[in-house]
Amino acid sequence: MGQKRSTFLFSALCFGMAFLYIPMLLLIIYSFNYSKIVPVWGGWSLRWYKVLFESEEVWSALTLSLKIAVMNATFATLLGTLAGLALVRFGRFKGRTLFSGMITAPLVMPEVITGLSLLLLFITMAELIGWPGERGITTITIAHITFSMAYVAVIIQSRLAGMAQDLEEAAMDLGSKPIRVLVDITLPLLAPGMVAGWLLAFTLSLDDLVIASFVTGPGANTLPILIYSRIRLGLRPDINALATIIIVVVTIGVIIAGYLMLRQQKQRERDMQMAAQEVVKLDA
Amino acid sequence: MNDNATAAVDRSERSSMRSLTAVLMQRIQSGWKTLVVGIPNVWLLVFFLAPFFIVLKISLAESIIASPPFSPLVEWSEEGALILQVIFDNFIFLWEDDLYFNTYVNSIKIAIISTVLCLIVGYPIAYGIVRSSSTTKNILLLMIILPFWTSFLLRVYAWMGLLADQGTINSFLIWIGLIEKPIRMLYTEFAVYVGIVYSYVPFMILPLYANMEKLDMSLHEAAADLGARPMTTFLTVTLPMTAPGILAGSLLVFIPAAGEFVIPDLLGGGNVLMIGRVLYNEFNSNHDWPVAAAVAIVLLLILVIPMMLYQHIQSKQAES
Amino acid sequence: MSQQADNQDRPWLDPDAEPFIKVQGVTKKFGPFTAVDNVDLQIYRGELFCLLGGSGCGKTTLLRMLAGFETPTSGTIYIDGAEMSQVPPYERPVNMMFQSYALFPHMTVEQNVAYGLKRDGVAKADIAMRVSEMLKMVELTPFSKRKPHQLSGGQRQRVALARALVKQPKVLLLDEPLGALDKRLREQTQFELMNIQDQLGITFVVVTHDQEEAMTLSTRIAVMDEGRFVQIGTPTEIYESPDTRFVADFIGSANMFEGRIVENGADHVVVRVSDPRIEFFIDHGMSIKEGTKVWIAVRPEKIKISKNAPTESGANQIQGTVLGVGYLGNLSTYRVQAGSAKVVDVTHPNQSRPKGDRHAVDWDDQVYLSWDPSSAVVLTK
């Protein structure tokens, strides 16, 4: 794979990265613009950050979004892990086709349909059993879990598929009952996948506008709902400031995670190389 | 003799105990398995499958001014003759109404064109990443994935700033003297294409990358060795072998693009008709829920084949 | 009395000996596919028993049924007198060494080896002692704190072995134990395995596709094909007296001649073969009717090759032309055209150094092939 990239491929890469990142870069630059009209430059300033931080609306929307995101990520990881385990390790069971269909469908289901159908469900349920009495944090969380768990299940599935079943059989052979195997072997080896799944579910929840705006109720504004209601009418410098903060936080997070992963991988490769070299030395 | 007899009894007792515990263990085990399958299954049945039947039910109801604004279906059984007429009213309305019909056609058109654009932009990028050295590869992949983790809404918003009449692009073009008056870009179909390609191109790149990464590069050498020029090699070896990646990526772009709401709403304004936006507005402004439900059902019917195709690819990939 | 003493090393010859593992009428089906087809097997205490066969012959499925990972579709399995077919793997007195070794990647060598003892509720001090003893035996003491990925292939293999042995199972199951090692390491490890088995006296059941491995390791070999046993016997029996053409061909190589019994005496049999047109004289009687179609198998190394006609004329001789010579250093293989279509393979040790580039027997030479009346095997299947 160490072949040389052609000039064409190199320019494609440069163009692609520019395409992906220049809009975000401009977004960040304009967040430091003093001018009230976004595209008109009025000099460097932190004015809009101050406006942002003083807005109670933003703070309460952020708190709500974070609450939902944490709850969603936790439950989605739990349910998604169970679903992934069932799909990969239980072989054929009754209703497997329907089950696997329901797991992957939310991945490709248009958000408007998911949102609409969940809202109608909540309304019907409220009529029939009187719950949920009021739409808001609970209904949004439930809706988010429903589509996030699909993503977690896919991550878990691919991790499990790559994990030899031998390991679980070996543990059983050495005297572990199935539950013990799950605790000792399967879950520890799945842990990185579960962490990735949690983070993904967390982000998906923070990012969702469409489904949340369908199933939310009066007064329950998540951060995306708030942002949307503001930018619908045009550019807003305080939203630039908010975007900058989000981009910076995410970028730092992703870079740290990427660095840690890379370091671990490198360490592993070094270990394996050393083990191989040792053998050569012992033989000589 | 006596000893032997006792031993025999002992053994048979022990073996019956053993089979008893075995049966018990199996019970517990199967109970445990039922739980693992059962919990997510019940969740999905209640919160994913059941809602679709409710949408279907409501799409077959009449719109009335009430809360909730649709007629209950229970009444139907008493007026058997009316059923057929009532049932398809909303769908017939969608079919006969030019606005809805054109909106569906337009959504599919935009989704198809955007998919092709994503492929044109994404393919060389994916190929470029595969051909990079391993460290560069990791960094590039990270850069492709990074936008995923930032807000989708804000990435679309970024383009509002670029494309607006007094936006960055127009100001720049005026400043270098290429144009005198701003070109209208925001709130046009062009802006929607830009937005969709920008937002969804990573969905194209990643499956393509995964597919190309598995390709055996010695195949290219073999083709070259057998006398194929680079372009021929690309057309006869690379392209056919990356077909699964192209298909997966295309579906991943096409399906959400066809139902997209945020991008046409923010970048297309009122000028671009897309079904996701119509559905949203039908629901939130017009309060005609039965029609909105019918709109959703038809959209689902249009997308069900690509969705099943994607699922088929996924499950095939999971097996191999 | 003396008979019994003779049989101490060969319990399978003693009709009174109680088998340690008894497989009775076991069948395993996966959907429409029958992986193991109604097999019976007795393995005795202290044996090193090999299940040998090509891929898909059912050997691994049978091993997995012994371990408890698969339940027989029908039939029973006894280990040390206890019925096993419904007992889950974690309650069986057997341990397995996996082909992939299946070392837990998140545990150190020490933790891997201790894992099984912990599950048995062995006291902590005992665990530490037994683990360190075991690691000493497989010479891994200095590596005890390492994780599996920090070990070489051979070291991993020894961890897997230690982990399975530390529980002192009644039976150790080994799935292609040497399959992942390179050739040199494999030969060395073979003897280590045999030593360990000898020291501990544990019954080993080994699955392998490698006939050489099976021959060196085992007390007895069961050759499997399409879910059934084709032949069970000691390595010598399997090699020297194969029951069928399949076995003769699968273990080592054999020249096969098709013919008919023309003479069936009390102490000899004569078989007439049409291509090449010769008669085989076999120096033991057989209970086969004259006129029966049979096959004769002669191992390449049992055939003498010479440019001079053998002194004693008669049966078991053919003349031919050397089509090709393969010089392997220690021995040479010759392909000899010995009939209108029949090509016979012969191997011959190179006991003297060739003079220059000339070999004693070379391309296009006219040669005589001959063999002892006891060397050929008559096969009816």
SS3 B183: coil
Class level of CATH domain A28-268:
mainly alpha
Give residue-wise pLDDT tens across range C304-363.
Answer: 888 888 777 667 888 888 998 888 888 889 999 887 788 899 998 888 877 777 777 888
B46: buried, middle or exposed (CB in 10 Å: 19+, 13-18, 0-12)? middle
With bands split at pLDDT 50, 70 and 90, how would you rate the model's confidence at B236?
Answer: confident
Q: How many other CB atoms are there within 10 angstroms of residue A1's CB atom?
A: 11
Secondary structure class of B56 (helix, strand, coil)? helix
Contact A257, B171 (CB under 8 A): no
What is the maximum alpha-carbon separation in chain C? 76
Phi, psi at residue B177, to the nearest 5°?
Answer: 85, 15
DSSP structural state of residue C373: T
What single-letter amino acid sits at A205? S
pLDDT along chain C (381 residues), means of 10: 57 84 93 91 92 91 92 92 88 92 93 93 93 92 92 91 92 90 84 88 92 89 93 92 89 88 83 82 79 87 86 78 88 86 88 76 84 86 78
Provide the 3-class DSSP secondary structure of residue C70.
coil
Q: Radius of gyration over alpha carbons of chain C, in Å?
A: 25
Kindly state the tokens that stand for C295: 């096959």
Confidence band of B85 (pLDDT split at 50, 70, 90): very low
Q: A95: phi > 0 → left, psi -120 to 50 → alpha, else beta; which?
A: left
pLDDT band at A143 (very low <50, low <70, confident <90, very high): very high
Residues of C in contact with B19 (CB under 8 A): 86
A212-237 pLDDT, tens digit per residue, is 999 998 888 999 999 999 998 888 88
Would you kindly state where each structural domain of chain B is located, as residue ranges?
87-319
Q: What share of chain B is helix, strand, coil (3-state, %, to 5)?
A: 80, 0, 20
Q: Which CATH architecture is the domain B87-319 placed in?
A: Orthogonal Bundle (1.10)
Query: Pairing state of beta strands C255-264 and C74-79?
Result: unpaired
Mean pLDDT over residues B204-215, rounded? 91
E-strand spans in chain B? none
- β-strand partners of C333: C326, C347
Label the pairing between strands C343-349 and C228-233. unpaired
Q: How far apart are CA A275 and CA A210, in angstroms?
A: 53
All domains of chain C in start order, with CATH: 2-246 (3.40.50.300), 253-379 (2.40.50.100)
Which stretches of chain A sit within 8 Å of chain C by CB? 164, 166-167, 169-177, 180, 184-185, 188-189, 268, 271-272, 274-276, 278-279
Among A residues 67-96, those touching chain B with beta carbons less than 8 Å apart: 79-80, 82-83, 85-86, 90, 93, 95
- Strand arrangement of the beta sheet that strand C220-225 belongs to: C94-97, C171-175, C203-208, C48-52, C220-225, C228-233
| Structure tokens given for C87 | 């007992």
Residue of C96, C103, C188 to mutate, testing the A interface (most A Cβ within 10 Å of its Cβ): C96
Are C95 and A181 spatial neighbours (Cβ–Cβ below 8 Å)? no
Question: What six digits make up the tokens of C361?
Answer: 């027997």
Residue A9 pLDDT > 90: no
State which residue of chain A sits closest to B145, comparing Cα positions.
A254
pTM: 0.83
CB proximity C60 to A under 8 Å:
no
Q: Residue A10: enclosing H or E segment and its boundaries?
A: helix A7-31
Q: Is C281 helix (H, G, I), strand (E, B) or coil?
A: strand
Picking from B137, B158, B153, the residue whose alpha carbon sits closest to that of residue B205 is: B137
- Chain B residues 270-309 with a CB less than 8 Å from chain A: 276, 279-280, 283, 289, 292-293, 296, 299-300, 303, 306-307
* Residue in chain B lying closest to C89 (CA): B22
**Of C70, C23, C34, which is closest to residue C175 (Cα–Cα)?**
C70
Residue C164 to residue C161: CA distance in whole angstroms = 5
Say whether C341 sits in a helix, a strand or coil.
coil
Q: Is A208's pLDDT higher than 80?
A: yes
CA distances from B294 to B64, B160, B299, B301, C152 (A): 15, 32, 9, 10, 63
Query: Do the beta carbons of residue A3 and residue B217 sit within 8 Å?
Result: yes
- C-chain CB neighbours of B18 within 8 Å are 82, 87
pLDDT tens digits, B171-190: 899 989 888 889 999 999 99
ipTM: 0.88
